[in-house]
Structure 1
Amino acid sequence: METVKLMRELIANFEQERNYLPKETGLSLIESTGENDSRGISAKCRDTKVEDLWSLTSFFGYSTQTFVLAVNLLDRFLAMMKVQPKHLACISISCLHIAAKAVEEERNVSSTNELIRISQCKFTVSDLTRMEKIISEKLNFQLKTITALTFLHLYHGIARSHTADRKEALNLDTLEAQLKACLCRIAFSKAKPSVLALSLLTQEIEATQCVDMLEIAHHVQRHLKIADVELLHWRGLVAKCMSDYSSPECSRPNNKKLVWIVSRRTAQNLHTSHCSVPELPTIPEDCWDESESEDSCEDMSSGEESLSSSLGSDADGPYFPLNFLCQRYRNKYHHTS
């Protein structure tokens, strides 16, 4: 009965997924935009901001669902609107805040002030609030969407219902980490969520060499009428993405980090209490100069640095180099007098 219920839910979501896809023409325009073109968003610029969202998601303890939803909102908005690079920071942080409010418990959602400070962006609370309104209106307030994570959970549930007593059960955390890695590349925004999720699932199943689970995945594929050529195409891109994340080049993070600026007294308290980053005291007011923003979306800075050299707590996963482990935020704050 559980499998039947999951299959019905799967079909219902499959029939609706097209309503939440970014416009492919808009995504192609982003991919064709040069990195130094100030008139539009390039693929590299978009990917860097998504990595920032991943870092912030980990920092604030938000769920994978929040991150995936934020990326979906961002891509859908960028694919329908002509956006200047200087506005991208405000747009991406607004998408994260919208997603957090839609997914997380209210008490766990960071304040707009805190979100702006930690993201090190140069816009005001008013800018963020106004941008959230613009994004919500342009997306017709379709803020709770069907994503690849939706299908990943359904596929995992169906596979688990057939392998409840087996050791070969798939690790959902690993699958989620792989999905987040893929979403950091705009190419995967063109994939149907159902196909991207099935690509991740079947690749992981083959890694476990479980014939029974692979047959379940093939049954799901036939039921959804997903063509072999389509699945193989995205599986190839997924495999390359995972390989790239495991390469030596990917294990050489840059120096763009979250920087904590604290007073001498706070620094002493940190040494004595051994607090971790999420529990650090509030950043002093004087480290945020609101005069840098004129409270206008047109004046938002385009010079924000990337927050993520590592990819948050997901560096623990098997698809990320061990070098990432030493890049945790708890080791990356500076003391000033």
Structure 2
Amino acid sequence: MLRSGAGHPDAGQSEASTSRQRSPEEEAQRLYATLNEYLLLEHKTQPKLCLPAESENGEVTTGARDGAAHVLRCLKVWFDLPADVLITAINLFDRFLTKMKVRPCHVPCITVSCMNIALEQYAADTNTKRSISVEELVSISQSACTAGDVTRMSRVIVDKLSLVGGCRAHTALDWLRLLRAMLTFHAGTLPVVCQEDELVQLLEIVSCDAACANVRTSELALVLLYYKLEQQLAEWSVAATDAIPEHAYYLYDFARQIQLHCHMCDTTLAAARARVRHAAARYERCEARRDQRQRLVWRLSERTLKVLRPTDRLREVLPTIEEQHLAVDSTPTRNRSGSESSENEETSDWPRSPVLPVYCDN
């Protein structure tokens, strides 16, 4: 099978250099050949989740699934991983929940294991060395499992999903890059092609929503592409002094051709569009409420707390020192003030210093 699809991880610089020398007919044939390859393998990597909203018999809920997806995205941001790893890990997680009945207590271990498998696949596809160990994944994710548990669970997931010796799974990110390349080829000289980083960010947001988990990957990629294209055309129409060329609206004919070629139904495509708009709108509302975000909380062990400097006797405001008029005796008896820093001076953990530290809110 072809391994040089548009935006495929296996497609290196040599593929990009040869594509510049192709004629338009050859480039179109290559893109549509890659599209046909993706269509043949699409059903093998399509999850079909059926999760309840509330757990009645100890089942994994949609909220637990979304929580696991957000953990995967946090790991991606923490380790500065490419988007391919995140989308692959979420796809593996959804496919495993489709085939297996999982207890909620096993979800953290399955989540880290899917990220572990995605890292292995990305390293194999790009011929690079893996730089993140299993121990680091377990430590940063704060999952109640060990590196051995993740290794064993990874073997179970690989076995259940038949990942050994099989073809590489084409995720929604691969579809998005392919359709964007085809749209760029179809648009010609029109500067209305969406930026790839914006599309990838929108795909990450939508992938973390359980409502979009069962959407067909080709339909999801097409909806995301034209969702950003409509926004870009609207911004262009406002900023441009001249009217939008009529040829720009012919790009919707390309969407119709892709829909017919991939056998997409109008009903499912409209439903996918509504789900994408709902997920994007909810994310924008959450971004608008930054003041209501949960603050970062560090979990400290008892051993760590013992070595920290004590802060129980620190005060935000220093006590007032009363002035004394020393007119009669030049060497009067010194009276101690009620400062808390002089109490238990022999057992104090603070260093002997005439300057007391003061901590304020700012």
TM-score higher than 0.5 here?
Answer: yes
1:61 aligned onto 2:80: yes
Change (3 A) 1:256 1:136: farther
**By how many angstroms is 1:233 displaced?**
1.3
Contact map agreement 2:108 2:143 (CA 8 A) in 1: yes
1:43 aligned onto 2:81: no
Match of residue 174, structure 1, among 198, 202, 218: 198
Query: CA deviation digits over 1:18-77, x for unaligned, max 9?
Result: 11122x3xx22x2x2524x57221100110110110111121121111111101110111
Contact map agreement 2:120 2:130 (CA 8 A) in 1: no
Contact map agreement 1:191 1:234 (CA 8 A) in 2: yes
Query: CA deviation digits over 1:140-188, x for unaligned, max 9?
Result: 1258312211211110010112335332121111111111111111121
User: What residue identity is the alignment partner of 2:294?
Assistant: N
User: What residue identity is the alignment partner of 1:63?
Assistant: P
1-side partners of 2:64 and 2:295: how far apart? 15
SS in 1 for 2:58: coil
SS in 1 for 2:99: coil
User: What residue identity is the alignment partner of 1:160?
Assistant: T
1-side partners of 2:288 and 2:61: how far apart? 21
Partner of 2:273: 235
Give the TM-score normalised by the residue count of structure 1: 0.71
User: What residue identity is the alignment partner of 2:152?
Assistant: R
Q: Does 1 or 2 have the higher relative contact order (CA < 8 Å, sep 6+)?
A: 1
Percentage of pairs with the same residue: 27
User: What residue identity is the alignment partner of 2:284?
Assistant: S
Contact map agreement 1:70 1:95 (CA 8 A) in 2: yes
Contact map agreement 1:33 1:40 (CA 8 A) in 2: no
2-side partners of 1:45 and 1:181: how far apart? 16
Partner of 1:255: 294
Partner of 2:46: 21
Q: Once structures 1 and 2 are overlaid, which stretch shifts more, 142-151 or 116-125? A: 142-151
Partner of 1:214: 252
Query: CA deviation digits over 1:262-284, x for unaligned, max 9?
Result: 989xx9xxxxxxxxxxxxxxxxx
Change (3 A) 1:211 1:13: same
1-side partners of 2:285 and 2:150: how far apart? 37
Partner of 2:282: 244
Partner of 2:139: 117
User: What residue identity is the alignment partner of 1:16?
Assistant: L
1-side partners of 2:231 and 2:287: how far apart? 24
User: After superposition, where does 1:191-202 map in structure 2 within 5 Å?
Assistant: 191-202=215-226
1:184 aligned onto 2:203: no
- Would you say how many aligned residue pairs link Structure 1 and Structure 2? 259
Partner of 1:155: 179
**By how many angstroms is 1:256 displaced?**
6.2
User: After superposition, where does 1:284-299 map in structure 2 within 5 Å?
Assistant: none
Contact map agreement 2:84 2:122 (CA 8 A) in 1: yes
Change (3 A) 1:45 1:243: same
2-side partners of 1:246 and 1:7: how far apart? 35
User: What residue identity is the alignment partner of 2:147?
Assistant: V
User: What residue identity is the alignment partner of 2:264?
Assistant: I
The structure whose Rg is larger is 2
Q: Once structures 1 and 2 are overlaid, which stretch shifts more, 212-221 or 65-74? A: 212-221
Partner of 1:129: 151
Q: Once structures 1 and 2 are overlaid, which stretch shifts more, 48-57 or 139-148? A: 139-148
Give the TM-score normalised by the residue count of structure 2: 0.66
2-side partners of 1:143 and 1:125: how far apart? 27
SS in 1 for 2:129: helix
Partner of 1:34: 54
**By how many angstroms is 1:90 displaced?**
0.5
Partner of 2:15: none
Change (3 A) 1:201 1:45: same
2-side partners of 1:216 and 1:117: how far apart? 47
Contact map agreement 2:109 2:150 (CA 8 A) in 1: yes
User: What residue identity is the alignment partner of 1:148?
Assistant: A
User: What residue identity is the alignment partner of 2:37?
Assistant: A
User: After superposition, where does 1:68-107 map in structure 2 within 5 Å?
Assistant: 68-104=87-123, 106-107=128-129
**By how many angstroms is 1:261 displaced?**
6.8
Change (3 A) 1:123 1:160: same
User: What residue identity is the alignment partner of 1:193?
Assistant: T
Change (3 A) 1:256 1:132: farther
1:2 aligned onto 2:27: yes
Partner of 1:303: none
**By how many angstroms is 1:250 displaced?**
6.4
Contact map agreement 2:53 2:63 (CA 8 A) in 1: no
More helix by share: 1
User: What residue identity is the alignment partner of 1:255?
Assistant: Q
